[in-house]
Amino acid sequence: MKKLAVMIALASVLAGCDNASAPLSFTPEMASFSNEFDFDPLRGPVKDFTQTLFNEKGEVSKRVTGTLSAEGCFDKLELHDLDANTGVALVLDANFYLDAETQQQKIKLQGKCQLAELPSAGVTWDTDDKGFIVSAHGKEMEVNYRYDADGYPLGKTTKAGGQQLSVAATPSKDKRKKLDYSAVSLLNEKQLGTVQQRCEYDGYDNPVSCDLSIKDESVKPAVERKFTIKNSIDYY
């Protein structure tokens, strides 16, 4: 009996250690911004990061750069889609994100640093009681966002003009490898394509490099494209 009691006590200690070393959850700001602006979320005390998407030729397709405060607010966010030749740089200024080039107020914020309104498009965002963006509303559109218990973005459903586009992600069951995921996109319940991603991780369980495969099933025969994602992350 004494030996059994020792084993039970030891198991309890080990269980406590496992809980103490559990991976960090995703903050509402990081999860919401990544869900809205389409980049891989990061966890932990991130100071700044650059996420670069390379095509099969090794050419840069997209790049996202972010600078965060110690509290986890995005002080600056740059989004560049080189394939589409579009981009924007947003800078935090009080309760707004400004266009870094024109100084025009682009996005209104709620609280310290969560999305509230995109005035130019007439879009407003709603949060849940934990601070996560759960929906967006415009004159002719509605978006619903989903997260798991760790705050990982599971995708979103957009309704506009009688159409419904849904993206649903399924992350790895290993909580330390959330960015190893598969995803399915549907247009009016018809499958458009699938995504598979596998990554190498750092000590904060953030992806350092990833292999991404996207299959476009909207064309016949289906077309599969492969990408590589490289992350450069600095921490506080």
| Among candidate residues 164, 177, 162, 169, the one with its CA nearest the CA of residue 210 | 177
* 3-class SS of residue 32: helix
Q: With 70 as the cut, is the pLDDT of residue 3 above it?
A: no
What are the extents of the domains in the chain?
Answer: 25-36+44-235
**Is the distance from CB of 42 to CB of 77 less than 8 angstroms?**
no
Q: The whole model's pTM is what?
A: 0.87
CATH ID of 25-36+44-235, from 3.30.70, 2.60.40, 2.40.160, 1.10.1220: 2.40.160
**Is the distance from CB of 212 to CB of 199 less than 8 angstroms?**
no
pLDDT in tens, 203-235: 999 999 999 999 999 999 999 999 999 999 999
- Measure the CA–CA gap between 40 and 220, rounded to whole angstroms: 29
Neighbours of 113 (CB within 10 A): 21
Could you tell me which residues are beta bridge partners of residue 206?
Answer: none
Question: Looking at residue 10, what is its pLDDT?
Answer: 42
- Measure the CA–CA gap between 217 and 2, rounded to whole angstroms: 63
The confidence band for 20, taking pLDDT boundaries of 50, 70 and 90, is low
- Measure the CA–CA gap between 123 and 117, rounded to whole angstroms: 6
Q: With 80 as the cut, is the pLDDT of residue 8 above it?
A: no
pLDDT in tens, 59-100: 999 999 999 999 999 999 999 999 999 999 999 999 999 999
